[in-house]
Structures are given as structure tokens and as C-alpha cells.
Amino acid sequence: MTASYAHASPQIPPAHPAKPDSRIEVMFPPMLKRQTLFTMRLHLQGVAEIQQALASGRFEKAAEIATATLGMSSMHGHQMAEEAKYMPHGMMKLGALMHQRAAEFAISAQDAAATGNLKPPLRALSRMTETCVACHSAYRLK
């Protein structure tokens, strides 16, 4: 680390000037909001673990993580049914698409275990996270 970075602020400035938040507010009961935000943090942790596994060439592990933390089988049963009562259709659609794309990533990562080609799983991971970004850009829990 160079001296110029040694005392740099840990905060990263916003990419764009601050604008009023124009996302659609989605009203959840307080307990469901907490559970949903916790689940979203688990999804984010899963993405980080997937990236770590890919970086170390552990494609099968990346596929397992995606399936367990983000794939269709990770959809949260009772919580999902409760969330559906409050979510706008577009938000539900994006959530389902994210889980579907996680499953597609898992298949791509398994294929990479045989081929060694990192590009397809990286493309699939990008498509999955694009869905997260789209949802978080359009909606916010209130």
C-alpha cells in the first residue's frame, strides 16, 4: 500500500450526485421487513462466497453455494408467501427471476468444473446480480 492510500477515508463517494429517492416504497409489517432484509443480506453473502469460490477455481463449490443461498430451492417458504401479500407484481417477478438466474449460474458453474472455462459462469453471475440491482433500484422496503 502506498503512503497516499494509507490515510484514505474508508468511505467511497457516491457514483452520482445525491438525488431524491424515487424508488417505489413497499410497505411490509415491521417483523416481515426485518426478516426480508436479513434474507437479502444472506443472498449478498452468498454472492460474495460465490465470487471467492470462482476466484479459487472451485466451480462445484460455487454451484453449491448458489443453489443453497440463491437458487429456487432457497426460496423462503412461509416467508415468501407472506412477502407476496405485500410485494408489487414487478418486485415478485424480479425476485423469481433472480432465483431462476441463480439456478442457471449453478449449472454454468458445474459445466465450468468440467471445461475450466470461467467466462460462462461469470456471465451468468453478472445476469443474476443485474437482477438484484434492477430490483433494488426500483423498490425499497418501508
pTM of this prediction?
0.82
Q: Are 68 and 121 in contact (CB under 8 A)?
A: no
Alpha helices in the chain (DSSP H): 3-6, 30-55, 59-69, 77-84, 89-115, 119-138
Q: pLDDT digit string (tens) for 24-79?
A: 999 999 999 999 999 999 999 999 999 999 999 999 999 999 999 998 776 666 78
Query: For residues 25 and 63, what is the distance between their CA atoms, to the nearest angstrom?
Result: 33
Question: In this model, does residue 2 exceed pLDDT 60?
Answer: no
**Sole residue written with cell 418501508:** 142
Question: Hey, CA dihedral for 98, 102, 108, 112, is it positive or negative?
Answer: positive
- Delineate the domains of the chain, giving CATH numbers in brackets: 27-141 (1.20.120)
